[in-house]
Amino acid sequence: MATRIGVEVSIAVADAVKLCNPDVIAAYPITPQTHIVEHLAELVANGELDAEYIPVESEHSAMSACLGSAATGARTFTATASQGLALMNEVVYVASAMRLPVIMAVANRSLSAPLSIWCDHSDMMSVRDTGWIQIITENGQQAVDNTIISFRVGEDPQVLLPVMVHLDGFNLTHVVEPIMIPDQAEVDKYLPKNRFPLPLNPDKPVAMGGFAAPAIFMETKWAQEVNIQNSKKVILQAWDEFNKIFGRKYEPIEKYQSDGAKTLILTVGSSGETASVAVDELKKEGMDVGQVRIRLWRPFPFEELREAVKGADVLIVMDRAISFGGPGGPIASEVKAALYNQAKKPNVVNYVISLGGRDTTVSDFKNIIKQGVGIAEKGSKNEYEIYGVRG
Amino acid sequence: MAKSENEMTWKDVEIGCIVTEPGGAKAYESGTWRSQRPTYNFNKCIKCGLCSLYCPEGCIDKNKDGYFEADLFYCKGCGVCARECWTKVITMVEEVE
Amino acid sequence: MTQEKSLVEIRWHGRGGQGAVTTTEMLARAAIAEGKYAQAFPSFGPERRGAPVQAFNRVDSKKPVRIRADITEPDYVVVLDPSLLDKVNVTSGLKKGGYVIVNTRKSAGGIKSEFKIDYPVATVNASKIAREVLGVNIVNTTMLGAVIKITNVIDKKSINEPIELRFGKIADRNIKAMETGYEQVAV
């Protein structure tokens, strides 16, 4: 039986990794991710987890070690954040292109400068084109569940892709909250053994990481693209199967009070729960408002998004990152792109909020929704709005 | 490999571009790069094997008489062996006069 | 409104190293073990011993806690260190009628008039209790007892297990400090 405990989310994520029985963990500590790998190191040191823990000297080495590990068919986990993700960037691309199912928790944190250890989504957005599957979680339970789900998805022979599970730094990683820790037998039932089809093996040698001349390079990239597009159906199956065993349902776009609502707020990550309280309060005040949340960021859920927002007149999109000199937040620019060719589409208003750990409260979200509706009616000179900046 | 890389479609690309058949380098005729060819006066050869150690292609081995000789399927004609040979056994000559 | 009432928000004021974060974690664990919903989290950031810090608890007896922002309008405020009273505006945003629970040797009336606090004040001499029971002036578990008594967010017995988990060999003394705080807090 699963047990419901009060636990810090980072510790619960590490315990979820343990339930998946990884073979190799190679990681470098960085705030606010540290508690995850620290606890895993502790579990290995105490003999509670039979895995190789490689305390590497940098994140670049962490991901490099993970590549080697995954290439042998070993179940492989790492975690990082912010500058760590930036430092490992070149190897992040290699993992997906070589189809190596490394599972990585990313404790979302802003990128320097100025130095900030607090949460926003600039690190997550910096890797959106690296070819990884990216799942964004909103609370501790989702982070735990989707860690387990990621191993199943990434290692699926039809997928074979690395997966990032995003959880907001501090806002999730450092919070003690109630979490159902799944039962080992249930996880074992849900998660098959890792069977990488062409592992490094001295008895049956293969070569990995070769170069591709112009004559073949485009074919390799298109194969990679078709593969990640096709991974969506496996992700949906994995979520479905998870729901059958564990009773918690995940969808690429999750809806809250959104059916028939004329105004929708779209959120990403932990602030979505706070926003849902604002939606409740505004509904009580008589406003016709609902919420949609992006759970799956890559592959991007085009159909589900279009379906979820098609009845709305106004869609207010929250971003926790700026594309400098660009079209506003990355979420909004992709949402707009997804809707552009639709005959009927909501008016999209984009707000950049909560950079570098700035709190966004229930009353902030209420303000944003009200202001957003006004902007949709009257129009705005701005490509996007930024909320809460003084002056 | 059944198809050349000019013929392969994206569906033919192996998972992560993994090369599953060994011997890709062995099958490759690097001898086509050669514009000069080593020739031998084995009367001077003391069978020291130094040319084989220096050969960047690793293509020099003993022939049936025990003299060291390059495999022209792989020899790129760099001339390192000729330069290093103590007893001046090897002379590089143009492939095409 | 009755539905809204099930959520109780407590803001703790202490100094880095005084155990405010540990205490909020124990309180949340106890509430969750009772089947309630709860959150505990620090004011996020680097840890600095001695610096004024905040830590937060949300406890909801009925529904999952969804708000993930700092507590700016608490139902209760806890002050672990009386020297913070003239440095930090501890009552900032405190809801009308919300209690301020202070570690002090002074009386509630004295605190109210000295620091012009227009809220009910509960006091306990946690430093004295901690020195007597634990032998050191670390007041977090003593204040936890006072908080349980005033807020009634959990049953007092529920806190024993989290204290045992956290303190191991010195758990018994901390439970005694907690119980003494519970008994001696005065309104």
The per-residue pLDDT for range C60-91, each reduced to its tens digit, is 999 999 999 999 999 999 999 999 998 899 99
Work out the widest C-alpha separation in chain B, in whole angstroms. 57
Could you check whether the bond before residue B38 is cis, i.e. omega within 30 degrees of 0? no
Structural domains of chain A ordered from first start: 3-246 (3.40.50.970), 254-386 (3.40.50.920)
All chains having 3 or more CB pairs closer than 8 angstroms to chain B: A
Write out chain A residues lying below 8 Å of B3, CB-based. Answer: none
The reported pLDDT for the residue numbered B22 is: 82
Question: Quick check: C7 contacting A, CB < 8 Å?
Answer: no
What distance in Å separates the CA atoms of residue A86 and residue A59, rounded to the nearest whole number?
9
Mean pLDDT of chain C: 94
Taking phi over 0 as left and psi of -120 to 50 as alpha, with beta for the rest, C125 belongs to beta
Residue B6 touches partner A, C-beta closer than 8 Å: yes
Domain extent listing, chain C: 2-184
Other Cβ atoms within 10 Å of C98 Cβ, number: 18
Q: Which amino acid is at A233?
A: K
For residue B63, being part of any structural domain is answered with yes
Beta strands in chain A (DSSP E): 3-8, 24-27, 52-55, 76-80, 102-108, 133-136, 163-168, 176-181, 253-256, 263-267, 289-294, 296-298, 314-319, 347-352, 385-386
pTM of the model: 0.91
Q: Does A203 touch chain B if contact means CB atoms closer than 8 Å?
A: no
A142: Cβ contacts below 8 Å, ≥ 6 apart? A250, A295
Query: Buried (b) or exposed (e) across B40-63, using 16+ Cβ within 10 A?
Result: beeeebeeeeebbeebebebbeee
Calpha distance A308→A78 (Å, rounded): 33
CA of A140 to nearest chain C CA: how many angstroms apart?
11
Nearest residue in A to C24, CA atom: A176
Taking CA–CA distances from A141, the nearest residue in chain C reads C64
pLDDT score recorded for residue C4 = 53
CB contact under 8 A, A160 and B15: yes
Please report, for the domain that includes residue B89, its CATH number: 3.30.70.20
CB A296 within 8 A of CB A252: yes
pLDDT of residue B2: 63
Look at strands A385-386 and A253-256 and give their pairing. Answer: unpaired
Q: Coil, strand or helix: which one is A110?
A: coil
Q: What's residue C49's pLDDT?
A: 81
Chain C residue at shortest CA distance from A168: C68
Nearest residue on chain A to B10, alpha-carbon basis: A219
Residues of B in contact with A101 (CB under 8 A): none
Say yes or no: B7 contacts chain A, CB-CB below 8 A.
Answer: no
pLDDT tier for residue C3 given thresholds of 50, 70 and 90? very low
Interval C77-133: pLDDT, tens: 999 999 999 889 999 999 999 999 999 999 999 999 999 999 999 999 999 999 999
HSE-up of residue B30 (Cα within 13 Å, Cβ side): 14
Name A216's bridge partners. Answer: none
State the CATH class of domain C2-184: alpha beta
Question: Which residues between 69 and 128 in chain A have a beta carbon less than 8 angstroms from any beta carbon of chain B?
Answer: 97-100
Q: What share of chain C is helix, strand, coil (3-state, %, to 5)?
A: 40, 20, 40
Asked if residue B42 is part of any domain, the answer here is: yes
Report if residue B85 sits inside a domain. yes
Note whether C32 contacts A357, CB cutoff 8 Å.
no
Quote the CA–CA distance of A151 and A141 in Å, as a whole number: 16
Residues of chain B with pLDDT > 90: what percent?
Answer: 73
Asked, for residue B14, whether it belongs to a domain, the answer is no
Contact criterion met (CB below 8 Å) for A343 and A331: no
Q: Which residues in chain C (35-64) have CB-CB distances under 8 A to chain A?
A: 37-42, 44-46, 64
Beta-strand pair C99-103/C76-79: parallel
pLDDT higher than threshold 70 for residue B97 = no
A228 Rama sector, left if φ>0, alpha if ψ -120 to 50, beta otherwise: alpha
CA-wise closest residue to A156 among A187, A191, A127: A191
Residue A123: strand, helix, or coil: helix
For residue B95, pLDDT beyond 90: no
Residue C2 in this model has a pLDDT that exceeds 50 = no
CB contact under 8 Å between A171 and C44, yes or no, is: yes
Q: Which of A98, A205, A219 sits opposite B16 (nearest CB)?
A: A98
Is pLDDT above 90 for B25?
no
* pLDDT tens sequence across B49-73: 999 999 999 999 999 999 999 999 9
Does B17 contact A213 at a Cβ distance shorter than 8 Å? no
R_g (Cα) of chain C, nearest Å = 15
CA distance A381 to A360: 24
Report DSSP letters for A248-273, one per residue: ----SEEEES-TT-SEEEEE-STHHH
Q: Do A160 and B24 touch (CB under 8 A)?
A: no
User: Shortest Cα distance from A68 to chain C (angstroms)?
Assistant: 34
Instruction: State how far the Cα of C141 lies from the Cα of A359, in Å rounded to an integer.
Output: 29
pLDDT at B1: 46
Identify the bridge partners of residue A319 per DSSP, sorted by sequence position.
Answer: A352
B93 vs B61: CA distance, rounded Å: 20
Q: What is the pLDDT of residue C5?
A: 76
pLDDT score at C181: 98
Residue contact B16–A212, C-beta within 8 A: no
* Per-residue pLDDT at B4: 83
On chain B, the residues whose CB falls within 8 A of the CB of A220 are 10, 13, 17
How many domains does one find in chain B?
1
**Domain of B74?**
30-94
Average pLDDT of adjacent 10-residue blocks, chain A of 391 residues: 94 98 98 97 98 98 98 98 98 98 98 96 98 98 98 98 98 98 97 96 92 94 97 98 98 97 98 97 97 98 97 98 93 97 97 96 97 95 94 87
pLDDT at B96: 80
Give the minimum alpha-carbon distance from B39 to chain A in angstroms, rounded to a whole number.
Answer: 35
Min distance A10 CA to chain C CA atoms (Å): 12
Contact criterion met (CB below 8 Å) for C73 and C9? yes
Q: Indicate the residue type of C82.
A: P
B19 chain-A contacts, CB cut-off 8 A? 206-208, 210
Cis peptide before A327 (omega within 30 of 0): no
| Continuous segment of H or E residues that includes residue C101 | strand C99-103
Decide if C121 contacts C106 (C-beta within 8 A). Answer: no
